[in-house]
Amino acid sequence: MGQENSSEILSMRTRIEAALKVEEAEGGNEVRLATLRLIQCALNDRDVCARGRGAGEGCATGEMMATLETMVAQREISAREYDESGRIEEAIRERDEIEVISEFIPKPLSGEALEQAIADTMTDIGATKLKDLGRCMSALKERYPGKIDTSSTGKAVRTALTG
């Protein structure tokens, strides 16, 4: 499990660094370049904090995902406020930044992939009754950090346990 998380972190970091290098080389989209730099700075800051707590590798995947999700939420609020105050250009920039940040947030599991993840988890932890719902959800969140939408997954787990 630890190997999987390390590779996910490396993959996300590698994707961000590669995107930043490409954007710096091309020099085309100013908003994209600035946003990629902001992402990198935010994650580096989280790494420093994690190392201060004793995590030698830096921040975990979940913390990276939370950081990116927070960045998106902040920009959604700002865009809405800019719209309300008639500052359309600023709102557009915030939405452009949301698009860039969202590229690095994994899409939640759905459909067959979600059903398979639920079935595997139920088998692994021996979940058979509705009272095992909490254990299933905890195990799924641990196994698939950042890829579980709790609302839809909770309904699917409930259905799998009662079906």
pLDDT along the chain (163 residues), means of 10: 45 85 87 94 86 72 83 95 96 96 85 89 88 89 79 87 82
Give the start-end residues of each E strand in 9-122: none
Q: Is the pTM of this model over 0.75?
A: no
Within the chain, which residue ranges are assigned CATH 1.10.1510.10? 2-102
Q: pLDDT value at position 2?
A: 36
Cα Dmax for the chain? 56
Question: Burial code of 136-149, b = ≥16 C-beta within 10 A, e = fewer?
Answer: bbebbeebbbbbbe
Q: pLDDT value at position 5?
A: 45
Q: pLDDT value at position 106?
A: 79
Top-tier CATH class for 2-102? mainly alpha
Within the chain, which residue ranges are assigned CATH 1.10.10.410? 111-162
| Contact predicate 136/121, CB 8 Å | yes
Q: pLDDT value at position 31?
A: 93
81: CB partners within 8 A, 6+ apart: none
Q: pLDDT value at position 10?
A: 55
Q: pLDDT value at position 35?
A: 95
Q: pLDDT value at position 4?
A: 40
- The whole-angstrom separation of Cα 110 and Cα 115 is 8
CATH topology of domain 111-162: Arc Repressor Mutant, subunit A (1.10.10)
